[in-house]
């Protein structure tokens, strides 16, 4: 871990601040937590690639001074897979919205999870398409009012945690923008985890979700996260199963995709022995030349 704490501004492209997110938007709190995790891990800015899609969440890539790619709606994981396979030593972080990750990008999401490629996905779940004016998303759930559901939504929501788990992600967690200390811990774990990591962060959208659903302000929505959640495996959750579980659900090891792909390269090139031979020769030559 890094010995000195750097100010948040070190990791930001301050020339683009203040950010475009609305007053009270939870996405800024996720940005805040992510910067702290990166600082805690002592990662260099050039070691991280942030790949985002389209939407409010995707704008995060613009504010961080890492390598950043702002790509197509739902396709961030396709681009991220390409980056990771060509430069496996880099850390890849994808901030996706609920629609970006599980509607438009739903197929990319389940297949990236199935492959267990070493990418960290943040699903910034505000249960609405904010940027385009408040349409309901596959994470809105029943009874939610949206621009496209003026008489309230009749669609059931995905459970992002269960979907990621069933698809094969090897690190799956959920937190909220209220649980800021937990958020940093979970983000740190997720970035460190080798394999496909999914962190669903419940993030408030006061402008579109809040206004259409009881006139909730950012503070009300944060209090809602405080009251309506319980740690996974806790007595509180056992007694009130309707609460939303937060915490780490899956943390396991399984062969990672880039490692498996290296195996394909080795086999195609005639086995590991043939591949390592030139390295050995190079080492001998270097030793010979040293004196």
Partner 1 sequence: MGTKVSKSKNLIDSILINREWCKRCGICVAFCPKDVFEEDEEGTVSVPRPEDCIYCELCERLCPDLAITLVPKSQPETQTAGDAS
CB 195, CB 20: distance < 8 Å: no
Q: Which of 2, 9, 260, 267 binds partner 1 (CB under 8 A)?
A: 9
Site track for partner 1 across 216-255, x = CB under 8 A: -xxx--x---------------------------------
Task: Give 237-249 as a DSSP string.
Answer: HHH-TTSEEEEEE
The reply to whether 280 sits near partner 1 by the rule CB under 8 A is: no
Mapped onto helix, strand or coil, the DSSP state of residue 149 is strand
- Site for partner 1, residues 42 to 71, rule: CB under 8 A: none
The reply to whether 41 sits near partner 1 by the rule CB under 8 A is: no
Query: What DSSP designation does 188 have?
Result: H
Q: Which of 90, 180, 243, 250 binds partner 1 (CB under 8 A)?
A: 180
Q: Which of 1, 15, 23, 264 binds partner 1 (CB under 8 A)?
A: 23
Helices (H), the chain: 26-41, 60-63, 76-86, 98-99, 106-115, 160-167, 180-192, 211-212, 218-227, 235-239, 257-268, 272-289
How big is the site for partner 1, counted in residues (CB under 8 A)? 31
Q: Which of 31, 76, 117, 216 binds partner 1 (CB under 8 A)?
A: 31
- Which residue's CB is nearer to partner 1, number 47 or number 217? 217
CB 178, CB 227: distance < 8 Å: no
Q: Which of 33, 53, 134, 138 binds partner 1 (CB under 8 A)?
A: 33
The reply to whether 22 sits near partner 1 by the rule CB under 8 A is: yes
286 vs 57, 156, 272, CA distance in Å?
Answer: 49, 64, 22
The reply to whether 21 sits near partner 1 by the rule CB under 8 A is: yes
Beta bridge partners of 94: 121
| Shortest distance, position 276 Cβ to partner 1, whole Å | 47
Residues 107, 111, 112, 115: what is their CA dihedral angle, to the nearest 10 degrees? 180
The reply to whether 35 sits near partner 1 by the rule CB under 8 A is: yes
Stretch that binds partner 1, among 39-47, 81-89, 121-129, 180-188 (CB under 8 A): 180-188
- Which residue's CB is nearer to partner 1, number 26 or number 105? 26
Looking up tokens 């408040």 gives 134
User: Is residue 262 exposed (0-12), middle (13-18) or buried (19+ Cβ within 10 Å)?
Assistant: middle
Q: Which of 13, 87, 162, 181 binds partner 1 (CB under 8 A)?
A: 181
Residues forming contacts to partner 1 in the complex (CB under 8 A) are: 7-9, 12, 17-19, 21-29, 31-33, 35-36, 177-178, 180-181, 184, 206, 217-219, 222
């Amino acid at each position: 871990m890094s010995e000195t704490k750097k100010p948040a501004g070190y990791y930001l492209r301050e020339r683009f601040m203040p950010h475009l997110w609305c007053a009270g938007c939870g996405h800024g709190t996720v940005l805040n937590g992510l910067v702290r995790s990166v600082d805690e891990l002592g990662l260099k800015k050039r070691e991280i690639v942030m790949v985002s899609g389209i939407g409010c969440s995707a704008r995060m890539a613009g504010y961080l001074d890492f390598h950043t790619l702002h790509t197509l709606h739902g396709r961030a994981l396709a681009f991220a897979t390409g980056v990771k396979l060509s430069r496996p030593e880099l850390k890849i972080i994808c901030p996706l919205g609920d629609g970006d990750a599980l509607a438009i990008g739903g197929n990319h999401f389940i297949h990236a999870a199935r492959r267990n490629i070493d990418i960290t996905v943040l699903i910034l779940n505000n249960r609405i398409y904010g940027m385009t004016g408040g349409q309901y998303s596959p994470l809105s759930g029943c009874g939610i009012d949206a621009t496209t559901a003026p008489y309230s939504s009749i669609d059931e929501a995905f459970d992002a945690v269960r979907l990621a788990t069933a698809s094969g992600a090897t690190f799956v967690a959920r937190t909220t923008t209220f649980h800021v200390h937990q958020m940093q811990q979970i983000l740190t774990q997720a970035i460190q985890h080798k394999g496909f990591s999914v962190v669903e962060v419940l993030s408030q959208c006061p402008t579109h979700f809040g206004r259409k659903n009881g006139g909730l302000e950012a503070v009300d929505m944060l209090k809602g996260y405080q009251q309506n959640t319980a740690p996974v495996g806790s007595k509180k959750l056992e007694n009130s199963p309707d609460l939303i579980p937060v915490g780490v659900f899956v943390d396991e090891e399984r062969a990672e995709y880039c490692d498996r792909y290296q195996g394909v390269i080795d086999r195609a090139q005639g086995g590991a022995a043939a591949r390592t031979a030139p390295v050995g020769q190079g080492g001998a030559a270097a030793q010979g030349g040293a004196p």
